[in-house]
Amino acid sequence: MPYDLTHFQLTGIEAIDTEHAVFVEMLNELHEMCQAEVDNRYLKQAIIGIFGFLNKHFETEECCCNWEECPIASELKAAHDIMRARLEYLQLRIESDGLSQELLTETICTLGHWFTSHISHCDNRIGRDRRAA
């Protein structure tokens, strides 16, 4: 299922919104690779690339929240820490067990859920709080 970045998910902070757009593009590319039944080596590379990108993105958001004195900065960091641990766990499983169909599905569901829930509900508050300040 392809993802779209809607105006409801925009924060109004260019660095964050740009990285969200890149994340959506990466998710959609992964989806297309799965549909095309690309070799697992390439799927694994794409997934590890997304994990690395997300870890960098979390740093961007946390820095923006600190600069903006965002009231949800600690909540945001806590959510990122949970996702960082989840990504690390998935990466360890992928590296030790290989990328089975079950693990691929779990990974895609984790990434999709992060996009639909965290970006739509938590990150969106960054922009609302910024505009309200």
CA angle 74, 109, 124 (to 5 degrees): 35
The chain-wide mean pLDDT, for the chain, equals 87
Q: In this structure, are residues 124 and 9 in contact, taking their beta carbons and an 8 Å threshold?
A: yes
Tell the residue number behind the tokens 């766990």, with chain if given: 89
| Domain ranges for the chain | 13-19+48-132
Q: What is the dihedral of CA 5, 72, 107, 94, to 10 degrees?
A: 130
pTM: 0.89
Sequence letter at residue 53 = F
User: Which DSSP symbol is given to 39?
Assistant: -
pLDDT tens per residue across span 28-77: 999 999 999 899 999 999 999 999 999 999 999 998 887 656 788 888 89
